[in-house]
Amino acid sequence: MAIALAACGKPGVQPAQANVADSADQVLDSMWTNILRDGINVSKVEADTAWLYQQRQVIDLKQLKITFYDTTGAITSSIVADSGVYSIAEGLLEARGNVVASNPGGRVLKTEHFVYHRSVNEIRSDTAFTFTSPGGSGSGASFTSDIGFRNIVTVRPRGRQRGQGFLLPGERRR
């Protein structure tokens, strides 16, 4: 019996404890915040749930919606996604999972991942995407765009345009 007691005296494997940095400082339900530039509301970020990490200045978001506004307050585009991470210090908002972006003009862009850069007011993605609009549809390997989806630069674009098409630099309509 003495042998059994000696064996039980060893502590064995201890479970890992969560670091303070792994624990959210705040957990918010039905969270929303406005992002301002020079006192003007440029976007609104909403999420079903948000985990705020003060020291890292990061907010983890679940079921997010982002609405972008122009200087008059009119909506330029809206984006929904399964999740996202907003880096407050860097001004980067990363959206992941079933990302759908649309604008009031009927343009819709779908991808699995994109990053909004607040400093240059643009959206980028290194992930394949599809794009539909009243004037046509397309897809590509990646893209960079303004937040209104008026100027989209794509890598390996494919698509179809309705109407008379477009002119390349140096061409004339016949």
The answer to whether residue 4 sits within a structural domain is no
- Determine the Cα–Cα distance for residues 165 and 92; give it in Å rounded to an integer: 35
Residue type for position 16: A
**Range with lowest mean pLDDT among 70-74, 102-106, 137-141, 160-164:** 160-164
Q: What is the mean pLDDT of the chain?
A: 83
Encode pLDDT of 25-55 as tens digits.
Answer: 999 999 998 988 888 888 899 999 999 999 9
The answer to whether residue 65 sits within a structural domain is yes
The parent domain of residue 155 ranges over 23-159
Residue type for position 102: S
The answer to whether residue 32 sits within a structural domain is yes
Encode pLDDT of 91-132 as tens digits.
Answer: 899 999 999 999 999 999 999 999 999 888 899 999 999 988
Question: Which CATH number covers residue 125?
Answer: 2.60.450.10
The answer to whether residue 164 sits within a structural domain is no
Helix, strand, coil % in the chain, rounded to nearest 5: 5, 55, 35
Number of domains, the chain: 1
Closest Cα partner for 106 from 128, 130, 127, 136?
A: 136
Note the pLDDT of residue 4: 52
Give the global pTM.
0.75
The answer to whether residue 10 sits within a structural domain is no
The answer to whether residue 122 sits within a structural domain is yes
The answer to whether residue 135 sits within a structural domain is yes
Note the pLDDT of residue 7: 53
The answer to whether residue 9 sits within a structural domain is no
- The three-state secondary structure class of 164 is coil
